[in-house]
Structure 1
Amino acid sequence: MDTSSNSLRSEQQALLGALSHLLEPLAALCLAKGVSVQSAEELLRQSYVKAARHACGAGRSDRLTSRISTMTGLTRREVARIESLEKAQLPATRSAATDLLTQWASQPAYTNGHLRPIRLPRQGAEPSFDALARQVTQDVHPRTLLEEMIRLKLVTHDAATDTVSLLEDTFVPRGNWPEMVGHLGRNVGDHLQAAVTNVLGQGNEHFEQALLADELSSQAIQEARQLIANEWRHLMTSLGPQLQALMDADRAAGRAQDQAVRIGLYSWAHPMFPVPSPVSEESTT
């Protein structure tokens, strides 16, 4: 076996190790909702065919099925079957309610000194709920949008003071499972897409970094969570207006506004993996 074959096999083994780490949480999610391994495998097959078709580009259609079969290891009949299927769509994750929440949490006029969304008068000039609602959409009346957000338990309306308050720092209705899992698919999917593009490309096509801190106590983790939440609020209120300014500049210049960017921050706290004890010379003989 030549050097290039050895190198490819080594890369494949490294990738399979990374895939094991990626698939374990997905398997836990599928098990929690009773999704069988056969259903997950079918989606994997479909994803392989989709990726292979994309990699083939605009090749000859009469040979495309054979090329995809060779690339994926699936039979030509299986490729044809998969290509004939109707593609599943992710649940919608964007609505007037979620757009309003984003604006509320990211605009300085709508946050306090601690970067938290403030209580808003329902009516009146900015900052007010009605003014914010009209920024987000002209298709839904502010009162209708307020009623929907109350139904979703995102906000509360104090009739005595005619003010509206955000119930919690969240952008996804907790009672809406399709929307919650839709956010998971889009957020994690875009993150993974950025990382994969970097790995297969030059390494700097998309910003994708992480900071790891260990040797922390449980108490320190609780304090770290608050620090992370504060940093996210700062990022929201800092980047939100700047991104809006970029959108306004594009619109004024008549540039095609056909691009999107997703910016995220995540944290995952867990016990440190135990460090194996050194192996003594006596035990290796």
Structure 2
Amino acid sequence: MTDAGHGPTADKLYPPLARVLRPLVRLCIRAGMTFPALSQLLRELYVNVAEYDFALPGKEQTDSRVSLLTGIHRKEVSRLRGAGAPVNAVPASVSRTGAIIARWLAAPRFCDAAGAPLPLPRTAQGGHPSFEELVASVTRDLRPRAVLDEWIDRRIVSIDARDRIVLAESAFIPQQGDDEKLYYFGRNLQDHLAAATANVLTAPPPFLERSVHYDGLSDELARRLEARSRELALEMLQKLNREANAACQTDPGGEHRWNCGVYIFSENAAPAKPDESGRR
């Protein structure tokens, strides 16, 4: 539970929240989500968070207290309590695709000496690893041929001249509009914001949340730094994936989860020039 009495005051939150919300508002407008629709979502979330995250130990959370915490009318609170948003739902395609690709990128049997994913024949040949074995090592609920057809259609894999299945170099970057892309958008931003929020509310900050940033760069240098940071970030994530995948083979399991992410951003930050009317 978070204590509402600790942390920054509401007035100090305005500037950073404006920066955080601006790209989200841009996405909402492009997607056709109007302000009333977003407002309704926020109203539901305010009630849900106040109901569960701000309950007092040993006391039943009441409509009056939720109303006091959120500023939402008690009758509206009574209507919305218990609704919440299914923010933790994982699309089945995300779960199965992510698990199979993670194993392909991590398990020594499916990687070469340098740790790169091996091109795989469709079926086992002379004891060598195959795509069929890869899929079966993660789940037996899916036919490898069905997975292959789906992945070829989505360009996650390709077939080389020797009829081997090759993981795409960009794996895995979901295509625009796919459920996978929106799922990772929500999950990764949630975890990044959760870590940053915990660091604001807690001393010392419990999570690593840092960045390297430079302003006033030429376009050429910005592009070079972006390419280099992509290279280093991918190398780190692949190494962590291999270590985590190996450790999971002997881990007894539990209720914890772990997420390590990296973001890279670059833009032309020059202010917009006004037109003849003086508008920007």
TM-score normalised by the chain length of structure 2: 0.81
Identity %: 28
Map 1:129-148 to 2 at 5 A: 129-148=131-150
Runs of 4+ aligned residues of structure 1 deviating over 3 Å after TM superposition are: 7-11, 57-61, 84-91, 105-118, 125-128
Give the aligned partner of residue 185 of structure 2: 184
Amino acid at match of 1:178: D
* Cα drift, residue 138 of structure 1: 2.4
Cα contact 2:122–2:130 (8 A) shared by 1: yes
Deviation string, structure 1 residues 68-108 (Cα, Å, up to 9, x no partner): 10111111011112115463455627332222222333446
- Cα gap change, 1:273 to 1:116, in 2 (>3 Å): farther
In structure 1, distance between residues paired with 2:71 and 2:9:
19
Between the two proteins, the alignment pairs up a number of residues equal to 262
Q: Which residue pairs with 2:54 in the alignment?
A: 55
Cα gap change, 1:10 to 1:241, in 2 (>3 Å): closer
Root-mean-square deviation (CA, aligned residues, Å) is 2.8
1:15 to 10, 13, 16: 13
Q: Paired residue for 1:224?
A: 225
Q: 2:257 is matched with which residue: 246, 260, 264?
A: 260
* Counterpart position of 1:75: 73
TM superposition shift of 1:200? 1.2
**Aligned partners of 2:84 and 2:202: how far apart in 1?**
31
Letter in 1 for 2:122: R
Equivalence for 2:32: 34
Residue 198 of structure 1: CA displacement? Answer: 1.8
2:100/2:134 contact within 8 Å kept: yes
The question of 1:173 aligning with 2:171 is answered no
Structure 1 match to 2:151: 149
Mark the runs of 5 or more structure 2 residues left unpaired by the alignment.
272-280
Separation of aligned partners in 1, 2:9 and 2:113: 50
Q: How much does 1:56 deviate? A: 1.4
The Cα of 1:117 is off from its aligned counterpart by 3.8
Query: Quick one: distance in 1 between partners of 2:134 and 2:66?
Result: 49
The one-letter code sitting in structure 1 at the alignment partner of 2:26 is A
Tell me, which stretches of 5 or more residues in structure 1 are unaligned?
Answer: 1-6, 275-285
Give the conservation status (yes or no) of the 8 Å contact 2:7–2:200. Answer: no
Distance 1:197 1:76 in 2: 29
Sort the Cα spacing of 1:88 and 1:41 in 2 relative to 1 into closer, same or farther, 3 A.
Answer: same
Asked if the contact 1:107/1:240 (under 8 Å) is kept, the reply is: no
User: Which amino acid counterpart does residue 154 of structure 1 have in structure 2?
Assistant: I
| Larger Rg computed on CA atoms | 1
Instruction: Work out the CA distance in 2 between the residues paired with 1:31 and 1:181.
Output: 16
Q: Is the helix fraction higher in 1 or 2?
A: 1
Partner of 2:268: 271
